[in-house]
Amino acid sequence: MTPKDKLASGSATIGVLGLGYVGLPLVLGFAEKNIRVIGFDVDQRKVDALNSGNSYIQHISPDRVSSAVSAGTLSATTDFSRIPEADVIIICVPTPLNSHHEPDLSFVRATRDTILPHLRANQLVCLESTTYPGTTDEEFLQQIRSRGFSPGSDFFLVFSPEREDPGNPDFHGTGIPKVVGGFSPACLEQGIAAYGAIYQKVVPVSSTRVAEMVKLLENIFRAVNIGLVNEMKIVADAMGIDIWEVINAAKTKPFGFTAFYPGPGLGGHCIPIDPFYLTWKAREFGIHTRFIELAGEINEGMPHYVVRRVAERLNQNRKALNGSRILIMGLAYKANVDDMRESPTFKLFDLLKAQGAEIAFHDPHIPVITPTREHAEYTGLQSIPWNRESVGSFDLVLISTHHLAVNLSELAAWAPVIVDTRNAMASIPTAPGQVTKA
């Protein structure tokens, strides 16, 4: 029986590989539709947490996990020899950049090589990890065929880009339309059946390459527009114009304008990374992606601009950046989540420390910095206590992320100097000259 047949009969099992911010919501999406799902991960702590009915992601309720475990629809394991139990195998592993801004497919390849010996006929492999067009075909087809399977006949292969937006109350999980592209029409049919079992809307496209390009276009669109507004912010600051007032007025136009907002740099697992997957692949075709690379240059330069503004503000108080105590508000890459992947705050840490500043952070969602691939030196650093004595002891507070859980009125009462990269203090009464926008 094909995965589609098994889904129709209610006997299908789904395997999700990688139980992070993408994989865990997907696991719960299937489990809550009474479809048996096995979560695979190399991290024993995640596996143990799920099997105990606990969640390790803040915006995912442990009640959802415990209910699925109790119902018998969810289990987790580090034993990849159980891959034959799955009719549908969905891969949700990281695709970061290396130090040269080139795609790092090591996690995808390692996962592929791990499951390859365990594949059987009539399985569907779905890659969700964001990557350049051609990856699914180039990295999976030959290897699947080497096992004696014929993709599109007795084995099925699709790409479906993840669209998770952690912390977004309006669009999340299976309510977000799901793009699916298959290696062949038969593969696409199986992919539509798999994702159609839980998603409200499935959007089929003609190939895996189209589906891969869809995700890149979505995120490049954001990166380029954020780069534009970041550049506009620098120009506006030089002219004494508040860019936030400009944006708020411009977005009243009911057509032809979409509001994007400046910040201290890009963060998260998509926007800072995905555009470079396309610029790298485009070079293979002799194409120079100037818009994308320019936006990347501007966005990567924003932490430097913010630090210059911090130094200027300290100078106004006859203080040098060297030796000053700086508190950074917000470690997460976006508001109201505990996700610190690619957070620009880490770059601010590096730049401020390099100029001799003493740094600390406060984040109500991240009490301590856990190990990261690129910033191991900050592992174990704890969020400072939120009280007048602690916050008031710093020479300057730099708002990097605007969490709603932070009492900004208290911040205004406690902090002598605030540099605000998120327009967080706009509606908060403050003393003249206390807040500088950056």
Q: How much is the average pLDDT of 109-132?
A: 97
Q: Is residue 400 one of the residues assigned to a domain?
A: yes
Q: How far is CA 22 from CA 58, 166, 374, 431, in A?
A: 13, 9, 20, 43
269 contacts: CB under 8 Å, gap ≥ 6: 21, 94, 130, 339, 341, 342
- Whether 186 and 241 map to the same domain: the answer is no
∠ CA 340-115-198, nearest 5°, is 65
Q: What kind and span of H or E run contains 37?
A: strand 36-40
Is 217 within a domain?
A: no
pLDDT of residue 171: 72
173 has a pLDDT exceeding 90: no
Judge if 270 and 157 occupy the same domain. Answer: no
pLDDT of the residue at 234? 96
The residue ranking higher by pLDDT, 341 or 368, is 368
pLDDT at 342: 86
Residue 172 has pLDDT above 80, yes or no: no
Report pLDDT digits (tens) over 182-231.
Answer: 999 999 999 999 999 999 999 999 999 999 999 999 999 999 999 999 99
Q: How confident is the model at residue 97 (pLDDT cuts 50, 70, 90)?
A: confident
Q: Distance of alpha carbon 388 from its chain centroid, rounded?
A: 33
Range of the domain at 41: 3-206
Q: Is the pLDDT of residue 88 over 90?
A: yes
How many angstroms separate the CA atoms of 375 and 239, rounded?
A: 36
* Together in a domain, 201 and 58: yes
- The arithmetic mean of pLDDT across residues 31-54, rounded, is 97
In a domain, residue 305? The reply is: yes
274 — pLDDT class (breaks 50, 70, 90): confident
Name the pTM for this structure: 0.90
Q: How far apart are CA 280 and CA 278, in angstroms?
A: 5
Residues noted as catalytic: 270
What pLDDT, on the 0 to 100 scale, is given for residue 372? 84
Residues 253 and 353 in one domain: yes
Q: Is residue 237, in this structure, part of any structural domain at all? A: yes
Q: Give the chain's radius of gyration (CA, Å).
A: 24
Mean pLDDT of the chain: 94
Distance from CA of residue 179 to its chain's centroid? 18
Strand partners, 203: 179
Flag whether pLDDT at 307 surpasses 90: yes
Q: Does pLDDT of 14 surpass 80?
A: yes
Whether pLDDT at 374 is above 90: no
Whether 33 and 162 share a structural domain = yes
Residue 213 in any domain: the answer is no
Number of independent structural domains in the chain: 2
Place of tokens 């799901």: 178
- Residue 332 reports pLDDT greater than 90: yes
pLDDT band at 354 (very low <50, low <70, confident <90, very high): very high
Q: What percent of the chain has pLDDT over 70?
A: 99
What residues form DSSP beta bridges with 361? 328
274 shares a domain with 148: no
Q: Are residues 263 and 399 in the same domain?
A: yes
Q: Report the amino acid identity of residue 44.
A: Q
Same domain (yes/no): 201, 275? no
Instruction: Tell me the mean pLDDT in the region 127-145.
Output: 95
Work out the percent of the chain whose per-residue pLDDT is above 90: 87
Mean pLDDT, to the nearest integer, of 61-78? 96
Which among 171, 206, 241 is the end of a domain?
Answer: 206
> Which DSSP string do the residues of 135-152 spell out, in sequence order?
HHIIIIIHHHHHTT--BT
pLDDT of 269 higher than 70: no
**What is the pLDDT at residue 435?**
97
Q: Is the pLDDT of residue 165 over 80?
A: no
> Is the same domain home to 163 and 262?
no
Point out which residues pair with 90 in neighbouring strands: 16, 126
Evaluate whether 269 touches 215 at the Cβ level (below 8 Å).
Answer: no
* pLDDT for the residue numbered 421: 97
| Nearest-angstrom CA–CA distance, 34 and 196 | 14
252 and 315, same domain (yes or no): yes
Per DSSP, which regions of 41-143 are E strands? 74-77, 88-91, 124-127
272 has pLDDT over 80: no
Task: Give domain status of residue 388, yes or no.
Answer: yes
Q: Once rounded to an integer, what is the mean pLDDT over residues 247-274? A: 89
Q: Which amino acid is at 216?
A: L
Q: Do both 328 and 392 map to the same domain?
A: yes
Task: Single out the residue in 137, 171, 206 at which a domain terminates.
Answer: 206
Model pLDDT, residue 101? 80
Would you state the pLDDT for residue 70? 95
The reply to whether 214 falls in a domain is: no
Task: Name the residue with tokens 């395997």.
Answer: 15
Most confident of the ranges 33-37, 171-175, 341-345:
33-37
211 within some domain: no
CA distances from 375 to 80, 332, 346, 348, 378 (A): 29, 14, 7, 12, 6
Q: Which of 123, 117, 126 is nearest to 146 (CA)?
A: 117
Model confidence at 119: pLDDT above 90: yes
The residue out of 173, 206, 239 marking a domain boundary is 206
- Cβ neighbours of 387 (radius 10 Å): 10
CATH of the domain at 136: 3.40.50.720
43 and 99 inside one domain: yes
Residue with tokens 């998260």: 268
